A = this chain, B = another copy of it.
Amino acid sequence: MAGSTFGNQFRVTTWGESHGKALGAVIDGCPAGLELSEEDIQLFLNRRKPGQSKFTTGRSEADEVEILSGVFQGITTGTPISLMVRNADQHSKDYSDIANVYRPGHADYTFMEKYGIRDYRGGGRSSGRETIGRVMGGAVASKILNTLGITFLTYTKSIGDVSISEVDVEAMEDNALYMPDAKAAEQAASYLDECIKRGDSAGGVIECVVHGLPTGLGEPVFDKLDANLAKAMLSIGAVKGFEIGDGFAASHSCGSTNNDGFTTDGETISKTSNHSGGVLGGMSDGDDVVFRVAIKPTPSISMPQATVNEEGEAVDITIHGRHDPVIVPRAVVVVECMAAMTILDLLFANQSARLESLQDFYNKQDQE
């Protein structure tokens, strides 16, 4: 399986190369009855659009989405939703100088070894533009989740060594780095300016908090909620790590500290802490789901690097053009969208957990 489809019941298949004619996604399994317009999706695409600050690539793409199927009179019909973004800018660059060179930190070499051919223009399928399909799928998933009271808060937790000290949502919306801490954002900007100056790049960490999940979401063995989230996250280009709740810090902790006690107000059961990150035994435990992903520094840097070309000769490469000195801010919406698709898919799977739910569902239909 070539692996361009994500999900089992809410299935998103993506396609498209950085400098091909277009990029797109086909959403199969979107339930009928959802109001859906191009604006709904455009809002999410705009969050990942390049050219919005000095920290993002200068490539100017309108990235305008077109709905090609699955929506009738503004409502989803249950049939596949085909979404497309034309590549407007694809003829403007000259890739002849990197056409046969393996850029360090990129997928040029591995693509060539696997397939014997690669579309070298802008990284082809391994370009960051591949995430357009993910964001379109996630936009639809998010809209559905919102109708169920499930919401996301996703932000830049750190860039390089600069980490946030608070989560101030207003501050986040005020800076191009999506950092919910005005002071940290300023420090991170200075750090990135230095990176840019010397032709280098930076990495960072994104944190995502999911609120409003029903308890018991996730399938107990291989399709655990956290397992599926981990896959979703590591499938994003530059991600090198995933942790849920206390994550790696839990490995230094003790059971007496790390266990979250259960408590009750007489009506509802809740936990007295959230070291688990909202997941017990692979199923949501009623608390917020909290996870983090580590993003590596942008591999495209303007400093010269030693590498090898397709002929197997050692060469030096200097990557021209403007590239994001840090991917993190634009990846925030991608992380959120992958989480949304993962969760929606598990919400469908969870509907078949109990026999009585099946019985309720089909009796109810009979009565209509």
Contacts and interface: CB of A to CB of B under 8 A. Distances in A.
A31 B352 contact: yes
Contacts of A336: none
Interface in A218-235: 218-224, 226-235
State the copy count for this chain: 4
A110 B2 contact: no
A31 B226 contact: no
Contact of A241 (B201, B244, B263, B307): B244
Interface string A90-117: 0000000000001011110111011111
B22 A69 contact: yes
Contact of A32 (B72, B117, B215): B117
A354 B78 contact: yes
A3 B264 CA distance: 31
A368 to B, nearest CB: 9
A259 interface: yes
A33 B258 contact: no
B203 A79 contact: no
A111 B221 CA distance: 12
A1 B26 contact: no
Given A203-B253, A281-B110, A105 B259 contact: yes
B16 A13 contact: no
Contact of A282 (B11, B235, B252): B235
Nearest to A217: B114
A256 B79 contact: no
Interface string A195-217: 10001111111000000001111
15 contacts: A1-B8, A1-B9, A1-B223, A4-B221, A15-B26, A21-B68, A78-B115, A78-B353, A109-B285, A110-B282, A116-B354, A125-B221, A230-B233, A258-B299, A348-B351
Q: 9 closest Cβ contacts across the A-B interface?
A: A107-B281, A3-B223, A114-B216, A3-B219, A241-B243, A231-B231, A201-B255, A110-B283, A32-B115
